Amino acid sequence: MKYINVMFWTKPSRLHNNVQVLVSPTDIHLFNERLKHFVLKGTVLSHDIQKLFDGQKVMSYTRMKADSFSWTSYHNLEGIYQWMTDIAAENSEKLNLTAIGLSAEGREILAIEFHNPKAKGTVIIEGGLHGNEWITTEFVTYLIYHIAKADKARNVKLQQVATKYRWILIPVANPDGYVYSMSNDRMWRKNRNKLGNGLVGVDLNRNFDYNFCSHDSSNKSTDDNYCGSRPFSEPETQAISNYVRRNSYNLKFYFSIHAYGQKIIVPYSDRVKHLENFSEIENYGKQAILQIYKLYRVKYGIGTIYDIYGYRSSGDSVSWVKKSYNVKYALTFLLRDNGTYGYALPPAMILPSCKEMLVGLLEVMTVHKMKLINLIIILFISAGKCLSKKYHNYTLYRGIPISEGHLNFFRNLSNLYDANYWREPGLVYRPTEFVIPPEYKMLFTRHALMEGIYYTTIMEDVQSAFDMQSVKTYIRRNMASFDWLSYFRLDDIYSWLQDLNHLYPQRIQIKNIGKSFEKRDILAVEVRLPSSTNRPKIIVEGGIHAREWISVAFATYFLHEIVTSPESNDTALKAAAERFEWSFVPVLNPDGYEYSHVKDRMYRKNMNGVDLNRNFGIEFGGIGTSSNRKSETYPGQYAFSEPESTAMGQYVESKSDKLQYYLAFHSYGQYLIIPYAFSSLHMDNYDEVYTMGLLAAKRIEQRYNTMYTVGTAYDTVGYKVSGVSGCWVKKSFSVP
C-alpha cells in the first residue's frame, strides 16, 4: 500500500492469506479506490480503533491483596510488579521474586521462580516481549497464580505439572515498551533503547542470536521489526539470554507467549521444512487445540511460521533457545483473537483467553505421556489365556498420516501386510493403530521408511499384553466373586445375572429377546424400582463387538449400580435410577464374545462373519462398510440380516414409547460419539447433546484425569460409518 498511510497488523505473506491493516482516516477514500482498482476484497472490522482501545480498561492493583488481582481488566506495570511482590511474600516457602536484569530505561525485569527440589526439569515462560501485546502479560500472571495455588486446585493436570517441574515465569520481558504502549502509543512494539538521531527501539524478538537479521527483520532503525545492531545488542535480550543460560540445565520446556492469531508456532522460524521433532510436537499441539476448542469453541492452528503465515523470520527467542540448548519442547503461543479485535482485545475476553491457554499449555505438557497411557488402556481392554490363536511377536504400531498419500498407505495396510486395525485410518493427522504379524514387520518398516511414513511402536509383543488380562470364574450364589477386577466368560456372566435376579426379584426381570447365530440366548435385564414405573426409558447396549470386553464389563457394572441404588449413598445415582425405566443388554453378540475368549482374542464380528454395528437399517451398506465378507466391516447381505441385530431391533421397537436414551458402549478411544455416524454434519439436537457430553467429559476428567472427546464419529475418530445401532434407534424412533 505504497503512498497510503497504513499500519500492518498482519503483514502480507502469501496468496489467499488475509492481511489486516490500520488505515488513517485521511487516506480511507484513496485506500478504497486502490482496493477497487486492483479488484481486492476488503472487509471493515472496525470503523474506530481508538474506541476499541479506549475500552481496554487498565486497573491499578491494591497492595497486599494478592487475591484481589483479577483478569477482567488489564494492569499497569506498577500494579503487576506490586502483585508479583505480594504473591511472592504470601508464598515465600515455595516461590521467589528475582530481578534478572534492567531494561534500556533502567526498569527491572522481574521473574517468579518456584522452588522444587524434586523437580524433574525446568519450565521457562516469557510474556510481554512486545510492548503492545498486553494479553500475554495477563496470561503469565494468571499462570503464576494457578501454579502457586495448584495444591488446592481440582485440576489434576495442573497439580501434576506444578509438582513435577521447576517453574520460572517472566510476565513483562519488555517493561519499557509495555509502559510506553499504555502511556503514549498503544501500538508500540519495540523496546525503548535510544538509537540516536531521535530514533528509538529494537524488536526484541528479532534480536536473539538465531540466524540474526536474515528473515522478516530490518536493519533500518525506523522499522517496527528492526533487529538491532547485533545479536543481543539490547539489555532485555541480554538479561533473558544470561538468565536462560544459568537455568539451562535440564530445561524441558520454553514457551514464549505472544498475540494475536490463535496459533501454536513450532520452531524453526526461518525454515520451510519441518525439522527435528516437528511431527511429534504437531501431534501434541493438535490434541491441545482440541482441548482448547472444547472450552469455548475457539479454534487454534499449529505449524511453523511459514506453514501458517507464509513467511520466515529470524532472531526469535524460541528458535534460539531450542537450537542453543537442545530444548525439545520450545513453542510460541499466539493468544486471542483471530483478527476481529487484534491488539484491541476487550477486557471481557481476558479471562476466557487465559483459561483456554492454560488448558492448551497443560495438554502440551502432559500429552507426551500418552504412549504409556495408551499402553495401559490396551493392557486392560484386550486379553485371554485360553486362546488357540496367539499373537506372539505381533507388533502394535501407531501411525500419523500427514498427507493424503500417507493416509492411502495406512488404508492399504490390511491388504499389504495382513494388518489388523485397532483404530482405523480416518483423516490426515488422526492417529491410526494397527497390529502387524511378525512375518510382515520387516517389509512394513522398510516400506514405511522409503515412503517417509511417521509411525511409532506401542507394543512389540501384543500377546504379552493379552497374557496380563485375567479371566476369572464366577462362583454361583457368591455375588462377591463377580468383582470387576477381572473379565468373565459368557456363562459366568449369565449365571451372575440369574443370581442377581434371585437376590432382587422385585427390582429386575430377565428376558430372552432372541437367539444368536449359534443359538445362544441374548438376554435383556429390565430394572424397575418401585418409584420408577411408567417413566421415560433408557436402553443400554454392550458387547456388540466381540473383542470389546470392557464394554461388557461396564454394562454389568452399570446394571449392578442401578439395581443396588436404593442402598447407595450416591444421591445422583439414586435420582437417575428412580427417574427412568432401565433395560440392559450386556452381551448383544454372545457368540463372538465367547469366540474371542476361546479362539481369537481379536475377533470382532458375529459368527456369521458380519459386523453387527454395520447391520442396522440406516444408510445400510454405505460409507464405512465393505462388501468383502472377510473385512472387519462387512455389513451383511441386507439390513437386519443377522439374528442378533434383528433381536435388538425388535426389542427396541417394543420399548420405543417414551424411549429417551439409547446408550451403546464400545472400546477403545475415550470418545462420546453423537449421531449421525454416516455424516459430517451436525443434525437434529446435536448442540444440546454436545453440551451434555462436554459436561460429562469434564466430570470424568475432574474425577480421574481421563480425557474424553465429544462429537460425531467424523469429529472424533475421523471417519464416517453406516448401519450403526444408535443412529438407527435415534432416526427410527426420534430418541433424543
Q: Over the stretch 576-596, which tens digit does the pLDDT of each residue have?
A: 999 999 999 999 999 999 999
Q: What is the mean pLDDT of residues 431-439?
A: 92
The domain boundary residue, chosen from 466, 496, 521: 466
406 and 329 within one domain: no
Instruction: For residue 490, give the C-alpha cell.
Output: 459368557
pLDDT level of residue 430 (50, 70, 90 thresholds): confident
Instruction: For residue 124, give the C-alpha cell.
Output: 521457562
pLDDT at 374: 40
328 and 261 within one domain: yes
Closest among 659, 711, 724 to 683, alpha carbons compared: 711
Between 535 and 705, residue with greater pLDDT? 535
Tell me the residue type at 184. Answer: N
> CB neighbours of 154 closer than 8 A, spacing ≥ 6?
702
- Give strand pairing partners of 20: 10
The domain boundary residue, chosen from 415, 447, 466: 466
Using CA atoms, how far residue 534 sits from 476, 579, 661, in Å, is: 33, 10, 15
Q: What is the extent of the structural domain holding 492?
A: 472-669+720-733
Residue 134: which region, alpha, beta or left (left: phi > 0; alpha: psi -120 to 50)?
alpha
Residue carrying C-alpha cell 486446585: 153
555 and 636 within one domain: yes
- Interior CA angle at 410 toward 409 and 413, to 5°? 95
pLDDT at 377: 34
For residue 97, the surrounding DSSP H or E stretch is strand 95-102
CATH number where 620 lies: 3.40.630.10
Q: Is the pLDDT of residue 471 over 70?
A: yes
pLDDT (tens digit, 9 = 90+) per residue, 413-423?
Answer: 988 999 999 98
658 and 687 within one domain: no
Is 21 domain-assigned?
yes
Round to whole Å and give the CA distance between 48 and 5: 16
Q: What is the mean pLDDT of residues 268-294?
A: 86
Round to whole Å and give the CA distance between 313 and 211: 9
Q: Is the pLDDT of residue 205 over 70?
A: yes
Dihedral sign, CA of 383, 386, 391, 392? positive
Q: How far is CA 620 from the centre of its chain?
A: 32
Between 287 and 473, residue with greater pLDDT? 473
Is 676 domain-assigned?
yes
> CB neighbours of 573 closer than 8 A, spacing ≥ 6?
561, 562, 565
pTM attached to this predicted model: 0.53
270 and 403 within one domain: no
pLDDT (tens digit, 9 = 90+) per residue, 3-28?
Answer: 445 555 555 554 445 677 777 777 77
- Print burial letters for 111-134: b (CB count within 10 Å at least 16), e (below 16): bbbbebeebeebbbbbbbbbbbbb
pLDDT at 18: 66
pLDDT level of residue 129 (50, 70, 90 thresholds): very high
Instruction: For residue 551, give the C-alpha cell.
Output: 464394554
pLDDT level of residue 384 (50, 70, 90 thresholds): very low
Round to whole Å and give the CA distance between 438 and 452: 21
What do you get for the CA distance between the two ends of the chain, in Å? Answer: 55
Round to whole Å and give the CA distance between 693 and 698: 8
631 and 514 within one domain: yes
Round to whole Å and give the CA distance between 139 and 125: 11
Between 531 and 667, residue with greater pLDDT? 667
Residues 463, 437: contact at Cβ < 8 Å? no
727 and 699 within one domain: no
pLDDT at 385: 45
Q: What is the mean pLDDT of residues 678-701?
A: 93
For residue 704, the surrounding DSSP H or E stretch is helix 686-704
Is 55 domain-assigned?
no
Between 476 and 172, residue with greater pLDDT? 172
Residues 170, 100: contact at Cβ < 8 Å? yes
Phi, psi of 160 (to 5 degrees): -60, -50
Is 378 domain-assigned?
yes
Q: How many domains does the chain have?
A: 5
Q: For 358, how many CA atoms within 13 A lie in the half-sphere containing its CB?
A: 25
* DSSP label at residue 475: P
Round to whole Å and give the CA distance between 733 and 584: 18
Round to whole Å and give the CA distance between 196 and 340: 37
Using CA atoms, how far residue 625 sits from 60, 327, 428, in Å, is: 62, 45, 20
Tell me the residue type at 307. Answer: D
Strands 301-303 and 487-488, sheet pairing: unpaired
CATH number where 395 lies: 3.30.70.340
Burial class (CB in 10 A: 0-12, 13-18, 19+), 223: middle
Is 392 domain-assigned?
yes
Residue carrying C-alpha cell 447381505: 637
Question: Where is average pLDDT lowest: 54-68, 114-128, 248-262?
Answer: 54-68
Instruction: For residue 386, give the C-alpha cell.
Output: 485360553
Q: What is the mean pLDDT of residues 118-143?
A: 96
> CB neighbours of 106 closer than 8 A, spacing ≥ 6?
none
Is 1 domain-assigned?
no
Q: What is the mean pLDDT of residues 43-52?
A: 75
Q: Is the pLDDT of residue 431 over 90?
A: no
* Cis amide linkage into residue 249, ω under 30° from 0: no
Round to whole Å and give the CA distance between 58 and 415: 63
pLDDT at 11: 57
Q: What is the mean pLDDT of residues 372-399?
A: 61
pLDDT level of residue 60 (50, 70, 90 thresholds): confident
Using CA atoms, how far residue 402 sits from 116, 161, 185, 289, 431, in Å, is: 39, 30, 44, 17, 10
Between 66 and 385, residue with greater pLDDT? 66
141 and 11 within one domain: no
Q: How far is CA 394 from the centre of its chain?
A: 29
pLDDT at 15: 45
Using DSSP, state whether 276 is helix, strand or coil: coil
490 and 407 within one domain: no
Is 56 domain-assigned?
no
306 and 393 within one domain: no
Round to whole Å and give the CA distance between 464 and 471: 15
Round to whole Å and give the CA distance between 407 and 478: 51
pLDDT at 371: 40
pLDDT (tens digit, 9 = 90+) per residue, 319-378?
Answer: 999 999 999 999 999 999 888 888 999 999 999 999 999 999 999 998 755 443 343 333
196 and 308 within one domain: yes
pLDDT (tens digit, 9 = 90+) per residue, 145-165?
Answer: 999 999 888 888 999 999 999
461 and 487 within one domain: no
Round to whole Å and give the CA distance between 363 and 289: 9
Is 52 domain-assigned?
no
pLDDT at 595: 96
